[in-house]
Amino acid sequence: MFTGIITDIGTVSAVETRGDTRFRIRTSFDTASIAIGASIACSGVCLTVVQKGDDWFAVDVSAETMSRTVLGSWREGSRVNLERSLKIGDELGGHIVSGHVDGIAVVEKVEPEGDSLRVDFRVPEALAAYIAEKGSITIDGASLTVNAVEHDRFGVNLIPHTRQVTTLGDLKPGAKVNVEIDVLARYVARLQHWGKGK
């Protein structure tokens, strides 16, 4: 489990394609404290560390994950939001994030709004019902508050700090991002579905 609070921006330093795709990611994390088999959220996708060095770790990504996330567009030099898994006793600063991406959103508009940057996204119809104004959503691994919703579109505001410590400040119209809906929204929708006798 994760919180959606990004603690490092990594950089893809190597891509190797075999049965799966192996990404090597350079990081400022203390890799001596990362166990082989540990989970790290990489732009919102929970991945398993399979190899590591002094300032990098490697993860293997299946074709299924590549097809359902933006990881298929990663190349050498791609910047990646990183978060290590939650430990018991850690502060839950964002919201509960599983690292299981629900879909891909497309950036519709980016414009300044005060000191913040307003970013509007379009999501697949199947996810739209799970997104609520003032609810939580995870974009490329970062926990954000939804400020507006209209049909299959929603908007968030990125404060200067968020733009500085994540890759979200680089977003431009047309960019694609990983989206994970709030786990509470998922279960409320499921209960409503069963409550209607379906």
How does pLDDT run across 66-96, given as a tens digit for each residue? Answer: 999 999 999 999 999 999 997 776 666 778 8
Fill in the amino acid letter for 100: H
Q: Return the CATH fold of 8-84.
A: Elongation Factor Tu (Ef-tu); domain 3 (2.40.30)
What confidence tens digit (pLDDT) does each residue in 135-190 have?
999 999 999 999 999 999 999 999 999 999 999 999 999 999 999 998 777 767 66
Q: Which of 12, 165, 135 is nearest to 74 (CA)?
A: 12
Q: How confident is the model over 101-113, as a mean pLDDT?
A: 97
Task: List the beta strands (DSSP E) in the chain.
Answer: 8-17, 21-26, 39-42, 45-52, 56-61, 79-84, 103-113, 116-122, 136-139, 142-145, 148-150, 153-158, 176-181
Q: Tell the burial category of 157 from Cβ atoms under 10 Å away from its Cβ (0-12, 13-18, 19+).
A: middle
Is the pLDDT at 35 greater than 80, yes or no?
yes
Structure tokens belonging to residue 147 = 């400020």
pLDDT above 70 coverage of the chain, percent:
91
Q: Return the CATH fold of 103-195.
A: Elongation Factor Tu (Ef-tu); domain 3 (2.40.30)
Residue 18: what pLDDT?
84
Residue 150: what pLDDT?
95
| Residue 171 near residue 92, CB atoms below 8 Å | no
Q: How confident is the model over 22-29, as a mean pLDDT?
A: 98
Residue 86: what pLDDT?
77
What are the distances in angstroms from CA 5 to CA 38, 106, 126?
18, 22, 26
Please report which confidence band the pLDDT of residue 49 belongs to, taking 50, 70 and 90 as the band edges.
very high
Task: Enumerate the CATH 2.40.30.20 domain ranges in the chain, comma separated.
Answer: 8-84, 103-195
Residue 195: what pLDDT?
61
Mean pLDDT across the chain, nearest whole number? 92
Residue 34: what pLDDT?
97
